[in-house]
Structure 1
Amino acid sequence: MTTDHPHSPRPPADRPAHAHAGHGHGLAEDLAQIAQLRLPRRRAMSWLATAAGSGLALAGGPALAAPPRRGAAAGHASPPGAAGAPASSGGSSSTASTSGTSNSSCTAYATETNGPYPADGTNSASGATSDILTASGVVRSDIRSSFLGTGSIAQGVPLALTLTLVDSNGGCAPLPGYAVYVWHCDRAGLYSLYTAPAESYLRGVQVTDANGQVSFTTIFPACYAGRWPHIHMEVFASLASATTGRNALLVSQLALPSAACSAVYSGASGYSASVSNFSQITLASDNVFGDNGSAQLAAMTPAMSGSVSAGYAGTATVGLAA
């Protein structure tokens, strides 16, 4: 499916309930926001230059349109607001209780939307484009800090995520030297550079090692209205090619296991809104994961171990039809 908008019945379909009302007024305001971040001058100019004269959009809002789903399902679009159609069965249903497995197979991942908040150069607001992939410092394993300006640390239950990239057409052979970009919302359901415009946390790139692995230190993301809890990712042939989402070989998402979601949302501070949101969504009703087969869902759901107090470790094998 295609839409990936944080949504509630009240705001417009393309705008999350937590979006800032002042967004989307024009490039001048966007540039003013950048100035307020007090980025180091050279870093800020280097980042802005990647927009090729278009500026940099740090705000969400109605002007942000989710790109179409790529690959075979590119024409399978959902109507505006489809993300806000939660199921009544809740997160405790048999469908939602899918938990991570060892993911020892190498099922090819489904191509999914990169959503309205990728910061990968593929979407814009008020005529300006956001592309974090060209920013100095984006290549990092610990993605909890805002590395552009504020230095804020995203708070939440720790999550150590390890992804193993393999060739699903080549005997599950590991794929070294590929770049993997991951991003997700914070514990309040906000996305840095957009609905949390002053922040640049919870985004980062790593290059697969000889075993095809990358590791990220992050936090457990929230569940916002209308979406199953998830982590976005894009895979590129090399670090040099990871300059825009349009170069990605795979655009997909990870579905977080139901048991871990229930434990975190009910047992950790800062996730209170996720309790209600999670009770109203299932994997089957989710507009991204709902049309995937069982083998794909199993592969796209990380195996998860740990606890709220100790943090979680998640692993997944990402099948790429290389």
Structure 2
Amino acid sequence: MDYNTATPRETVCLLSPEQIAGPYFRNSKLIRRNISEGQDGIPLVMRLAIVDAMTGEPVIGALVDIWHCNARGAYSGWSKVDPDKEVDADTIGSIPRTDDHTYLRGGQFSDNKGVVRFTTIYPGFYAGRALHIHVAVRITAGNNYLEERHVAWVGQLYFPEVASRSVLNAREYRGRTVSRLTNDQDHYYERMGGEASTLDVHSIGRESHDDGFFGQLTIGIDTFAVSSQIRPEDFDKYTV
């Protein structure tokens, strides 16, 4: 499979629902494809296509930020927060930061096909949630933070249960004191998109999952919408 040209499954007619930004949002201002920073875990290559849900046309030059926890459930900036204890997962800024690490965070501008690509690791989980990746899409006037217009969409991406079970058996993910939630047990998953928010995931290696996974999804957004989850001033307030 050519992971640069693979066609995502057809979701272009669906307006992707917004989901909570969560307490671990921060604006790292890191424009980069590889966000792993050497974190241990099963490799994950992601291809996201951002399209206008009204027309199906690619959204070009959008700034797409992603962030997620590491194999043990910790987020950079909050590395000292115990991921085996449930926290208030709804409100931005509800948990004080503990450090200045930036692993597993970064952004890319969508290309002329509306596509962004990231190299990272398959996320682990923290107490009370299924495995997921956060995404924020900002509509810009150009490939420049200073020409940003507005935050149009904030969401979360989930993983097929078969792939997640395999990953969580790997050494880097084992030994937790709390059990993860499956997608169906996570009320955010059921309430906010379910299958439409689940990445299409394939194993890269033929013989072993150790070589990692490739995940892809087409995200349909309203480019004129203003997000209810992250406001423009939040990017200034929660900047590194």
Q: Same fold (TM over 0.5)?
A: yes
> 1 or 2, which has the higher strand percentage?
2
- 1:213 maps to which of 91, 95, 115: 115
- 2:45 aligned with 1:143, yes or no? no
Relative contact order, higher structure (CA 8 A, sep 6+): 2
1:195 to partner: Cα distance: 2.4
What is the CA–CA distance in structure 2 between the aligned matches of 1:275 and 1:317, rounded to whole Å? 35
1:242 to partner: Cα distance: 7.7
What is the letter of the counterpart of residue 163 of structure 1? Answer: L
What is the letter of the counterpart of residue 204 of structure 1? Answer: G
1:178 to partner: Cα distance: 0.6
What is the CA–CA distance in structure 2 between the aligned matches of 1:118 and 1:273, rounded to whole Å? 26
Question: What are structure 1's unaligned runs of at least 5 residues?
Answer: 1-100, 121-131, 146-152
Distance 1:300 1:143, change over 3 A: same
What is the letter of the counterpart of residue 235 of structure 1? Answer: V
What is the letter of the counterpart of residue 162 of structure 2? Answer: A
1:103 to partner: Cα distance: 2.8
Question: What are structure 2's unaligned runs of at least 5 residues?
Answer: 1-6, 81-98, 224-240
Is contact 1:160-1:312 (8 Å) kept? Answer: yes
Is contact 1:265-1:275 (8 Å) kept? Answer: no
Match of 1:300 in 2: 197
1:110 to partner: Cα distance: 1.0
Match of 1:93 in 2: none
1:186 to partner: Cα distance: 0.4
Distance 1:310 1:116, change over 3 A: same
What CA RMSD, in Å, does the superposition of the two structures yield over aligned residues? 2.3
Match of 2:4 in 1: none
1:290 to partner: Cα distance: 2.2
1:243 to partner: Cα distance: 9.2
Question: How high is the TM-score relative to the length of structure 1?
Answer: 0.56
1:102 to partner: Cα distance: 5.1
What is the letter of the counterpart of residue 126 of structure 2? Answer: Y
Match of 1:105 in 2: 11
Question: How high is the TM-score relative to the length of structure 2?
Answer: 0.74
- 2:132 aligned with 1:230, yes or no? yes
Larger Rg: 1
Is contact 1:241-1:247 (8 Å) kept? Answer: no
Following TM superposition, the consecutive aligned residue runs of length 4 or more in structure 1 with deviations greater than 3 angstroms are 239-244, 273-276
Distance 1:260 1:219, change over 3 A: same
Match of 2:214 in 1: 313
1:223 counterpart SS class: coil
Match of 2:87 in 1: none
Distance 1:261 1:167, change over 3 A: same
Distance 1:273 1:243, change over 3 A: farther
